[in-house]
Homo-oligomer: A and B are copies of this chain.
Amino acid sequence: MDHSIQDVARLAGTTSRTLRHYGAEGLLPPSRIGTNGYRYYDDRALVRLQRILLLRDLGLGLPAIRLVLDREVDETAALREHLGWLEQEQQRLDRQIRSVQTTITTLEGEDQLMADQMFDGFDHTQYKEEVVERWGADAYRNSDEWWRSMTTAQRKEWRAATRALQADWADAVTRRVDPAGAEGQQLARRHVRWLGAVPGLPRENGHLAADYVRGLGEMYVADDRFGADYGGPAGAAFVRDALAHYADEHL
């Protein structure tokens, strides 16, 4: 009635190493240990092992499995919670896949124009006058020089990132997520990080100036060309709100 560790492993489609691990974790102690130190498992242990492996296949972690097996939590509840986590992971993966696809297609696109295309849909060099007026002349010059100093490949990647960011903003807008919520703030963080790569932009305490970020959001709303990329003025307003909230909280 007792099976050796290898027997059990083959029988259950796992490895002896895994069984020892479960034993060490207290998840599946051997039902008997010989005087020689060998582990032996009876049929009850086999059944328990099956349940463990079943739940493992569903992606549950060992601590969660222990709670279920020891009846400390309801199995249905545990699975439901786990399902939530899985769906969250799925969404994260979906977003990453979309971003990678956008980046690839943009990288494959032929070379575009030059510095005046730098920010594509976000092109704030079109606001040269405003930038110069509000943030000083050398800020504008520095950004421009920085852009011209990039290699073609670097510029390509920059544009790819810009497109991807833009696409993700647009996506968030259409899904009507909360600008101040987790996803909106994640996007705002990406936006600020993306802009932060540009030397010469106004900074304070080492990061982008909060006022500059807020002002940028207002500019997006003020000019129709920005909003056009995210489904009208509501899109630009969304971006503005997310950026403003981010500036309040983190800058």
Residues of A at the B interface (CB closer than 8 Å) are: 3-4, 6-8, 10-13, 43, 46-47, 50-51, 53-54, 57-59, 75-76, 79-80, 82-83, 86-87, 89-90, 93-94, 96-97, 99-101, 103-104, 107-108, 146, 150, 153-154, 157, 161, 189-190, 192-194, 196-197, 199, 203, 205-208
Partner of A7, one of B79, B89, B154, B206: B206
State the 9 A-B residue pairs at the shortest beta-carbon distance, nearest first. A7-B206, A50-B197, A13-B193, A10-B207, A43-B199, A11-B196, A59-B96, A10-B206, A83-B100
> Given known contacts A8-B206, A11-B206, what 14 new A-B pairs fall within 8 Å (CB)?
A6-B206, A13-B196, A47-B154, A47-B197, A51-B154, A51-B157, A54-B157, A57-B96, A58-B103, A59-B96, A76-B104, A79-B107, A80-B104, A87-B97
| Contact call B199/A46, Cβ cutoff below 8 A | yes
**Chain A interface, >50% SS class:** helix
- Beyond A57-B190, A104-B76, A197-B47, whether A86 also contacts B82 by CB under 8 A is no
Taken together, the copies of this chain in the complex come to 2
Q: Which of B51, B83, B90 contacts A101 (CB 8 A)?
A: B83
Q: In the complex, are the beta carbons of B101 and A97 less than 8 A apart?
A: no
Is A100 a contact of B10 with CB atoms below 8 Å?
Answer: no
Residue of B nearest to A59 (CB): B96
Interface centre among A12, A53, A93 (most CB of B within 10 A): A93
Residue of B nearest to A89 (CB): B93
Known interface pairs A54-B161, A205-B10; A96-B86 also in contact (CB < 8 Å): yes
